[in-house]
Copies of this chain bind each other. A is one copy, B any other.
């Protein structure tokens, strides 16, 4: 049959700066993260890509459990009559829903939606489970596939089916629900920075960018190399909107029957798209070590039939695995140069070279993916018995570089503007995150969007001294980051 793109001879990926979109697609395919599938809008997450997702899951799941949450699993299918109970919610999601109308050869009496998100089915269950204030809070997370009808397909960024987690909590009062919403926003921010090495702006969305049915939506927003923002996770305070629609009521300590306050919050495999675009370079991926399926790869060098380095690499790899490192030995019958390019494309943070002379000297050579020839610390000779410690240091170093470079980019592409014309020009030019004093009005936002394609990403408090909205001249009530976005 025809060769799939990833099986065609490895060609140079296009330079990242020249065409981010072409670079992105090439890297996703050639690094074997994903394959396009015969199902429109759906991609296959291949083992190396799934390895990224497993590490994201492990890191995020530990944070959810540390903040008191438990996992559960709710049905994929939602009856149409249930979905339509919360008016804003159904209006927001109905155009994106895939409908099941037949089971076997039987036509259903009621259509079933494939979940685009699970507030509806989870709210319905919470209504059954909650009776008194003693049953609150409920703190549940679900790892699941969801589906939203899409025409376009862009790996991780825009697909019909995607993997995500969705947290859903119910509380006895508004303050607790708000606290939870902000707690999980902070979990996402901290994860983005310390695991994915991506600095983000976190804040509240404007009213028009809120989740359908939410009282307040918060997000973390990253800035991509093309100057477009990427919303990387959201956390919603749903107030009593869903508890009223789905009857989540309880007897409070004062004996009165009240509606609960609910929240929901999610991060999807989109985060991996942000990671790829933020850190990659012209040689391919650069994966932050905590997400890397392979933290270090041994490339043993065989010279004139002397293959002692292969055996030694396997022994050293086994020792590192016991210490908890994710390592591989590439003992394929290929040239070192081929292997270097192979693993650089795949973004492995550290390469460990070992040849016959290294075996004699009981050394190895660590090569960091974040460094290039000419950098002082590109290669380090390390004694075998100091390898684990040196590898830890090297991995921490790679994370630090990736984060510092991304932070430098975000900082140098965030513009605090005071001038209306400059603001509109910066939005139109995709200069980055444009930070202005803002009026908070939907009309103003709509006007900016129509003129420049930029929208508010999220908002933050006035610093003091701002009086008027830079975009329209009305009184300023807050600050907002404007940017074009994915």
Contact = CB atoms under 8 A, between A and B. Distances in A.
Contacts of A73: 44-45, 50, 53, 145, 163
A99 B46 CA distance: 26
A247 interface: yes
Interface stretch (A122-130, A179-187, A431-439): A122-130
A480 to B, nearest CB: 31
Interface size of A as a range: 35 or more
Nearest to A36: B128
B125 A75 contact: no
A51 B102 CA distance: 33
A176 interface: no
A46 to B, nearest CB: 6
A75 B129 contact: no
B103 A100 contact: no
Binding site secondary structure of chain A = mixed
Contacts of A335: none
A386 interface: no
Nearest to A77: B39
B71 A1 contact: no
A94 B104 CA distance: 6
A125 to B, nearest CB: 5
A53 B73 CA distance: 10
Nearest to A138: B47
Interface in A157-210: 160-161, 163
Interface in A107-154: 111-112, 114, 121, 124-125, 127-129, 131, 140, 144-145, 147, 149
A175 to B, nearest CB: 24
A37 B76 contact: no
B44 A74 contact: yes
Given A35-B129, A128-B4, A42 B75 contact: yes
Nearest to A7: B131
A78 B39 contact: yes
A70 interface: yes
B35 A128 contact: yes
A104 B114 contact: no
A21 interface: no
Given A103-B98, A131-B3, A121 B77 contact: no
Contact of A79 (B39, B160, B249): B39
A97 B7 CA distance: 33
- A38, A42, A249 — which one has the most chain B CB atoms within 10 A of its CB? A38
The 10 closest A-B pairs by CB, nearest first: A47-B70, A42-B75, A4-B128, A103-B149, A45-B73, A99-B102, A95-B104, A39-B75, A101-B101, A50-B72
17 contacts: A1-B249, A6-B129, A7-B128, A35-B125, A37-B75, A38-B124, A42-B75, A46-B72, A47-B70, A47-B72, A49-B72, A50-B72, A51-B71, A73-B163, A75-B161, A98-B102, A101-B101
Interface of A: 1, 3-4, 6-7, 35, 37-39, 42-47, 49-51, 53-54, 70-79, 82, 94-106, 111-112, 114, 121, 124-125, 127-129, 131, 140, 144-145, 147, 149, 160-161, 163, 247, 249
Given A38-B124, A73-B163, A101-B102, 10 more contacts: A4-B128, A37-B125, A39-B78, A42-B76, A44-B125, A45-B72, A49-B72, A75-B161, A98-B102, A145-B145
